Each structure stands twice: as C-alpha cells, then as structure tokens.
Amino acid sequence: MLETDSFLHLARPLGPASIGSQPTTAPLNVIVQPQAIFAILDHSLRRNADQERVIGTLLGVRSEDGQEVEIRNCFAVGHTETQEQVEVDMDYQKQMLALHLKANPKEVLVGWYATSAELNTFSALIQNFYGGQGDGTWPYPAVHLTISTEAGKDIEARTYISAPVGVTAERAADSAAFIPVPHEIRYGEAEKSGLELISGAKDNPDRTASVITDIESLENAIEEVLNMLDRVSRYVEAVIDEEAPPSSALGQFLLNALALAPKVDPEDIERDFNNHIQDVLVISYLANTIRTQIDLSNRLATAALTMGPGDGLGGNLANGTGSGETGLRGGQRGGRGGRGERN
C-alpha cells in the first residue's frame, strides 16, 4: 500500500464571503505613511501602566484593483484585555469612524493596529470583526498592522491579512490564519525633511533639535548630494577595476538618472544660482525692514497711550487748547465793552 503525505494547503486569503459570492483579491502591497506610525507611537506612550498593548483603527485608500492599500490615518480605540477575555468599545469605534469619514470622504476603513507583535486568539477575534460585513472591510480583507514599541529596541512594523479557519461558525469567529504581506513606509520630500530634523535629536542629551535656516538646509542638501556622488564614483571605479561585482540593474538605474540631468553649461547654472541667492537676500532684507517698521510703530503707539496729560506731547496739546480758549473769551468781553461806549 502506497503511503501518501497529508498536508494543509493555505492559499492567499480572499476575505470573508458568503457562498455563491465573488471574492476579491487580497492586497499585494501595503504602504504606511509616517503620520500614522507617529499617531500609533503616541497612543502607546499614553497607555495605562497595566496595558501590554493598545489597539486602534486604520484608515486609508485602496487602488482600483485592490492590489495596493495605503494607510494614511488612524485613531485609538479603547479596550481591556485579560487572560480570559477582551472587551473593545465598538460603539466608540463606530462613532469615531463615522466622524473621520465625514472629515475625509476619500478615506475608507482598511484594518486595525496593535502595539505588540504577538498574534493570539484575541487578535483573531478583533481581526474577524474588522473584516466582517456591515461595518467592516468586506469584501476586502482587513489589514492588521503591528508596531513593536519595546524600549531600547528598534521600531519594527509588520502587516498581515487573514483567512478564516475552523470547522464550525462558532469556532471560526475567534480563529484566523494570519499571513504576512509586504509593506513599505513611504514619505515625500517635505516629510523627509521633518523626519531628518526629528532624527537629529537622538544625538543630543536633552533630546531636542533646533530648526535650521534655509541656508543651512541648502548646505546640508548639497553636502548630501556630494557624498552620494562620491559613493557612486567609488562603486563605478571598483567595478571598472574588477574589485566589485557588476550589477546590470544598478547600471541601468544610474544611466536613467544621468539621462534626467539637464544639458546646461556650468556657467549658466552658477549664474542662475547666484541670481537666486540675490533674490533670497533681497526678500530677507525687505522682510526684516517691514518687521522693524511694525515694531517701531507699535512702540510709538504704546508710548502715546501710556504718557500722562502733563508729559510730552499730551501736555503740549492740553496747554495749547487752554490758551486758545482764554484768548477767545477775552475777545468776546472786549466786544461787549465797545457796544456799551457807543450807547
């Protein structure tokens, strides 16, 4: 008799669906925005001392084909968790979700997060709630994002989707097979500058970072570009000298990057750069002049209000008014005397 090996085959989950309905394809990539991670870390710092982890709702957008999910926002959801049971404030979650969707109509519910890498029965129960029909992400699978917040260790992020398992409906409610999906933390140029400024605080004992000026930022950017050019030059020289293995993909990338460079003479670039610097200096000078004039006007207005009636400008105005009134009264009396003599 031939022996056959038994095995369990797990395919990519398609989300909870009823019999006869057409399921959707699970996401192949998850993009996480930095502001969402910062909100999760802030929630973790504000947790109670007896809480091992905190959870919350993830908001974002999906591509038209559902292959890519972008996590843009999140909000905290209160819960209590013990060894025997877990309680989640679902009413608060529904109300906050409705308010967020009103403020950001383009965003949708994409899943939930937890500040612990552990996946247990309670995680499966919460995952099934977020991925269910009605108020969940159905027909799309819910994305579960875990952020490790252990002190002294690097922050580690993982993303999962799940498939229902269990032979009965009662058993499937608190059971799920979590399958990792690839993810990336994506940020723009403006966010990159802010992140670099924040990361500079780790080298200071007081964990503070001062805001640099535009000229200093430009200098740092130029130095970074020069360092990258030096690194690329050393790599190309090492490949030419057969000291480093060549890479066709990297060579194609460098060729495409060089093709994007404008065909401009160095003299023209230097002239345009100097003109730009002069424009920046003129604008800075005008801004400082306007600021000084406004400050001087405020000081003069404050001095005029605080001076007394016998001091300075206020006293002179009062004396001038009194002299005029006395002269006018003397003229009126003289006129009356003249009329009496004519009589």
Q: Per residue in 252-284, is it b (16+ CB within 10 Å) or e — as a string?
A: eeeeeeeeeeeeeeeeeeeeeeeeeeeeeeeee
Higher-pLDDT residue of 155 and 58 is 58
User: Range with the lowest mean pLDDT among 11-15, 73-77, 133-137?
Assistant: 11-15
Task: Name the residue among 257, 229, 231 with its Cα closest to residue 244.
Answer: 231
Q: How far is CA 86 from the centre of its chain?
A: 31
Which pair of tokens denotes residue 169? 């409906």
**pLDDT score recorded for residue 291:** 92
Task: Name the residue among 22, 8, 23, 4 with its Cα closest to residue 167.
Answer: 8
The percentage of the chain sitting over the pLDDT mark of 70, rounded to a whole number, equals: 79
Which pair of tokens denotes residue 106? 């383009």
Using a cut of 0.85, tell me whether the model's pTM lies above it: no
Higher-pLDDT residue of 27 and 157 is 157
Question: Per residue in 272-303, pLDDT tens?
Answer: 888 888 888 899 899 999 999 999 998 888 88
Radius of gyration of the chain (CA): 36
